[in-house]
């Protein structure tokens, strides 16, 4: 049986964004967002006392680089790669559910986002496998699913790509340890103040994100009228 081309239509091209994804997908997405926010707020404390838990909550490059000198290699790789891959798998599942209608969703929200979505979709049509491998993440995973890439192809590529990036961040963290050590000492001396700053920053970000989402929803409603 021949492999479906990566730029072919998804299995359910008629699905629209008005059709909600399965409840478990929504719960999983909300749960991962909650974990990321918790990790961002508690990053100073977790960095000092539970560094691998910080990676499990929010495996972002800055956290990986700071945690790398504080953690053993294999636990770091397992936790970092596993957590990042879960986000990728969820992104792929959401992309597979929404299908090609995701592009019109972006176009309705803003012309700029529409152009970016179309450009990335075209890039996936030319070099999908390389993009997924070199730039693994929830967004690229979702676009791979939208482009019609099969899970049995995309998920191994995402796993290998995430493993490579976690390894790179581990080595980079050790290479930068002399420069990050003063930051760790500053956090150690002012852990609760740093945690408060992180909490305020996350709160302001969420407020801005909600305002942006409300504005985009209003613009979309005007387009539909």
For residue range 63-88, list pLDDT tens digits in order. 999 999 999 999 999 999 999 999 99
- Rounded Cα–Cα distance for residues 58 and 80 (Å): 9
DSSP 163-191: HHHHHHHHHHHHHTHHHHHHHHHHHHHTH
- Say what the pLDDT of residue 210 is: 78
pLDDT of residue 15: 45
Which residue matches tokens 């699913």? 145
What is the model's pLDDT at position 105? 52
pLDDT greater than 90 at residue 177: yes
Residue that wins the pLDDT comparison between 171 and 97: 171
d(CA 52, CA 66): 11
pLDDT, tens digit, 9 for 90 and up, residues 43-59: 999 999 999 999 999 99
Tokens of residue 70, six digits: 């504080």
């Amino acid at each position: 049986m021949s492999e479906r081309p990566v730029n072919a239509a998804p299995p359910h091209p008629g699905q629209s964004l008005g059709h909600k994804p399965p409840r478990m997908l929504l719960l999983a997405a909300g749960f991962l967002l909650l974990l990321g926010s918790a990790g961002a707020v508690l990053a100073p404390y977790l960095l000092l006392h539970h560094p691998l838990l910080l990676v499990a909550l929010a495996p972002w490059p800055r956290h990986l680089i700071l945690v790398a000198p504080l953690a053993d290699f294999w636990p770091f790789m397992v936790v970092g790669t596993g957590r990042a891959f879960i986000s990728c798998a969820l992104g792929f599942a959401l992309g597979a559910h929404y299908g090609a209608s995701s592009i019109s969703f972006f176009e309705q929200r803003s012309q700029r986002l529409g152009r970016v979505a179309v450009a990335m979709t075209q890039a996936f049509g030319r070099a999908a496998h390389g993009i997924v491998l070199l730039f693994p993440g929830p967004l690229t995973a979702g676009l791979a699913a939208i482009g019609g890439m099969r899970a049995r192809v995309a998920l191994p590529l995402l796993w290998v790509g995430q493993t490579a990036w976690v390894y790179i961040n581990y080595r980079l963290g050790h290479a930068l340890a002399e420069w990050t050590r003063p930051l760790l000492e500053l956090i150690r001396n002012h852990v609760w103040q740093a945690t408060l700053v992180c909490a305020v920053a996350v709160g302001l970000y969420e407020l801005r994100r909600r305002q942006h989402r409300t504005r985009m929803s209003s613009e979309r409603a005007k387009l539909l009228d």
